Structure 1
Amino acid sequence: MPVKIILATLIFLTGFSGCAAYDIWTYAQTSELVKADAAIVLGTAVWGDEPSPVLRERINHSIWLYENDYVDKIIFTGGKTNGSELAEAVVSKNYAMAHGIPEENIYIEDRSMVTIENFRFVSEIAELYELSDFLVVSDPLHMKRAIQMAEDTGFEAFTSPTTTSEYNSLTSIVPFFFREVGAYVAYTLSFGD
């Protein structure tokens, strides 16, 4: 491969990654508190039968949305990851029910292993229960990629990041931020393949 092509590719990827980093950082501040049919809570690690601190804050935010009449239903997502015995969605549902959310107002998607699958599998629930618009709940730095994936899957989606993210110190924010930049760039460049 000629040196000029390699150099041009590196310049493009550096520039694109810089723009993506700026978009992710600024979009993290966006919160669209609108009335929607349901909240889609993106899953993440569980610790045994308990949500990890990161997942717990996502669930707590969805409970707040429900209690303040922003949503009528909550959809928890996530399968069995990292060798866990229970799916992330099941652990989330159990936690929400223990905190007063009626079981009939909770749906779960317990097959997904990655974010794009969250939305692909939730689309089946949306169709079954005739849900048309959604508040997407995750950590602020995850929202840009999550909303892009939701829209690419065909959802009318609005951002509702947690206000109490566990990613709240320099040592936790920096790795998460760079991971998101890489994941967003990879998704954007490969979408549609």
Structure 2
Amino acid sequence: MVAFVPAALLFALFCVSVREDRRRFRNAVLLGLTFVTLSIALLYQVRHLPGALGGLIALAVFLVPSVGVVALACFLVANGVTMARKEGRSLGNLLSLLAGLAIFALLALTITAMGTGSTEIAGLTFMLIMIAVYVSFLFLCFLAYAFLYGRIKVRGDVDYVVMLGSGLIGGDRVPPLLASRLRKGMEIYEAQVARGRKVPLLLTSGGKGSDEKVAEARAMADWLIAEGVPAEHVRLEDRSRTTAENLVLSRKIMAGDDPDYRCVVVTNNFHAFRAAMMARKAGVNGQVLGSPTAAYFWPSATIREFVAVFVEHRAVNFAICGSLFALGVLITVLAS
């Protein structure tokens, strides 16, 4: 049972951290470390199983991830092709394709290192694998916790339902991605109205881009009113240009009306956890909920969100990656 103590302690820290604030990235890391230590503890128990059964489990532990990596690479490449065909060839849309190709490249390098016996190639491969393991661990932490965070439900009364803007079609029309957010906001609004206690204001947030005819907030408000929401229940924040500004300027409006306000922020599901982290930083008193996104759009969008989070914590992440790089160089030099 001693083998399970680290997992239990990490899970306890995770619970305390989540109770303190659900919007922290450290929650994701603690959750990931809990699963890693729990897996190690379970593997340690394999030695107590009959030889054949223990051998099969040990084989599965190494075989399943290997097959899974290849399957993941194929899926990412296929998704990247779909994204390029449906959404265009921008860098953001090609992230899943690039990630899949990077996995294949690392696999090819590993096979080359094993086949040639080159110390230099082996050292480079080891370094890249270690960095890939670290980045993959963080990504899986991000993915798992983002999934859990997305299960949050609205409880109690809220004063505002804030809907974050995105680009418009033709400069003045709401695209499907943004319409998904607005529908989610309306669902929350209608559920609050049905409670019969307090009618929240729908706060649309988004300024006017250089290629847009009207502010995103105005187009969003018009969409809501056309769907039957009373105009007096809609308010606009029409100066922001980024998600950070969406949240800061919306907070100023809400806090100006009522310092004790409580809100819900709505964005798309792939963006919800990072938006929640930004909301915490901006001092917004509320959680973030996600609306549905087309399945083919989700992988590249999620990778883009993770990259943004990784860069936001660049001091720690780049230091660790740099240390792994130095370790790989040292091992190569010592083995030469």
TM-score, normalised to structure 2, is: 0.49
Q: Name the one with the larger strand percent.
A: 1
Q: 1:133 aligns with which of 262, 265, 279?
A: 262
Q: Give yes or no for the alignment of 1:22 onto 2:144.
A: yes
The CA distance in 1 between the partners of 2:150 and 2:187, in whole Å, is 19
- Structure 1 residue 43: Cα displacement: 0.8
Q: Give 5+ residue unaligned stretches, structure 1.
A: none
Query: Greater Rg, structure 1 or structure 2?
Result: 2
Counterpart secondary structure, 1:85: coil
Kept in 2, the 8 Å contact 1:39–1:137? The answer is: yes
- Structure 1 residue 44: Cα displacement: 1.0
Code of the residue aligned with 2:312 in structure 1: it is: Y
1:94-138: CA deviations, max 9, x gaps?
A: 111111222222111112121111111112211221161111111
Counterpart secondary structure, 1:44: coil
Name the CA shift for 1:176/1:105 in 2 (closer, same or farther; >3 Å). Answer: same
The CA distance in 2 between the partners of 1:54 and 1:94, in whole Å, is 16
The CA distance in 2 between the partners of 1:30 and 1:158, in whole Å, is 8
- CA-atom RMSD in angstroms: 2.5
Kept in 1, the 8 Å contact 2:150–2:289? The answer is: no
Q: Give yes or no for the alignment of 1:45 onto 2:167.
A: yes
The CA distance in 1 between the partners of 2:155 and 2:314, in whole Å, is 30
Q: Which residue of 1 aligns with 2:312?
A: 187
Kept in 1, the 8 Å contact 2:225–2:231? The answer is: yes
> Which has the higher relative contact order, 1 or 2, with Cα contacts under 8 A spaced 6 or more apart?
1
- Structure 1 residue 14: Cα displacement: 5.0
The CA distance in 2 between the partners of 1:188 and 1:110, in whole Å, is 30
- Structure 1 residue 188: Cα displacement: 4.2
The CA distance in 2 between the partners of 1:30 and 1:120, in whole Å, is 22
Q: Give yes or no for the alignment of 1:173 onto 2:298.
A: yes
Q: Name the one with the larger helix percent.
A: 2
The CA distance in 2 between the partners of 1:33 and 1:140, in whole Å, is 19
1:34-72: CA deviations, max 9, x gaps?
A: 421111101112113221101111111212222222651
Q: 2:271 aligns with which of 121, 142, 146?
A: 142
Q: Which residue of 1 aligns with 2:237?
A: 109
1:58-91: CA deviations, max 9, x gaps?
A: 1112122222226510111111236111111110
Q: In percent, how many aligned pairs have the same letter?
A: 24
The CA distance in 2 between the partners of 1:185 and 1:30, in whole Å, is 23
Q: Which residue of 2 aligns with 1:92?
A: 220
